[in-house]
Amino acid sequence: MKSIRSILLIALLQAVTLSSAFAADELAQIKSAGVLKIGTEGTYAPFTFHDESGKLTGFDVEIGTEIAKRLGVKPQFVEGKWDGLIAGLDVNRYDAVINEVAVTDARKAKYDFSEPYITSHAALIVASDNNTIKNFDDLKGKKSANTLTSNFGKIAVAHGANVIPVQGFNESIDLLTSGRVDATVNDSLSFLDFKKHKPDAKVKIAAIDTSPDSSDKSAVLVRKGSPEFVAALDKALADMKKDGTYAKISQKYFGKDVSQ
């Protein structure tokens, strides 16, 4: 009986050791293969999408390409739908997910993250000629177009707004520009992208909530247990910010630095 227990214990220790070695050696394996496999949607502009020629491009695609370059390997993007994108890490479809993945406690329990490289804030958006709504408290009694279950919708309700339900950002803007609502509380990055493509749109940001509860930070998502890999990702991102590469990419897609 003791010998069986000893054999089982040895087998378990070997499995744990092998697992740890595999995790610790993930960066070495990526460098040995010469490829960093990156999971991304390819349908989520301006972060990851296909341009008119069909080429995969976007903010996150350029960030991922630059990270791979700094690791000394080539990027290989593997596209998938959002609802199964993160789970693709579990079956080793790729080494990392770069797709504006928000850092949450639930995800941190199962996966590891690089240092955040995107920060999105809650923005109070109104018509360009609206001078009565200047801050979030001015929403009291006003109509705000929002998705009911979103954090942005909850912010609008918390400030006394009458929320008019919509399906997403574009519908919110349509209701606002047509005068059917007074405002919308929405993603600051979505607004920057919208204004970049439609600079003459008669909307503006009246206020931005930079409090932690109203901000989302996004980072590179990887499997747990690869500290060397995470450290290498952090260094690549830090070096990109230091030498101006990050700012150049960010300016190209959003017209400003979106890291903070």
> H/E element holding 203?
strand 203-209
The answer to pTM > 0.75 is yes
Spatial neighbors of 118 by CB under 8 A, at least 6 apart, are: 100, 189, 217, 218, 219, 258, 259
Asked whether residue 241 carries a pLDDT value surpassing 70, the answer given is yes
Mean predicted confidence (pLDDT) in 160-174: 93
DSSP per-residue string spanning 214-256: GEEEEEEEEESS-HHHHHHHHHHHHHHHHTTHHHHHHHHHHSS
Question: Whole-angstrom Cα distance, residue 113 to residue 220?
Answer: 6
Quick one: 2-102+225-254 is in which CATH superfamily? Periplasmic binding protein-like II (3.40.190.10)
Residue-wise pLDDT tens digits, 81-134 = 988 999 999 999 999 999 999 999 999 999 999 999 999 999 999 999 999 999
Question: Whole-angstrom Cα distance, residue 256 to residue 207?
Answer: 17
Backbone angles phi, psi at 244, to 5 degrees: 90, -5
> H/E element holding 13?
helix 2-24
Residues of the chain with CATH 3.40.190.10: 2-102+225-254, 119-214
Q: For strands 74-79 and 35-40, give the pairing.
A: parallel
- Residue pair 40/78 in contact by the 8 Å Cβ criterion: yes
**Confidence at 214, pLDDT banded by 50, 70, 90:** confident
Most confident by average pLDDT, 20-24, 35-39, 118-122, 251-255: 35-39
Tokens matching residue 126: 């109104």
DSSP summary character for residue 78: E
Class of the CATH-defined domain 119-214: alpha beta
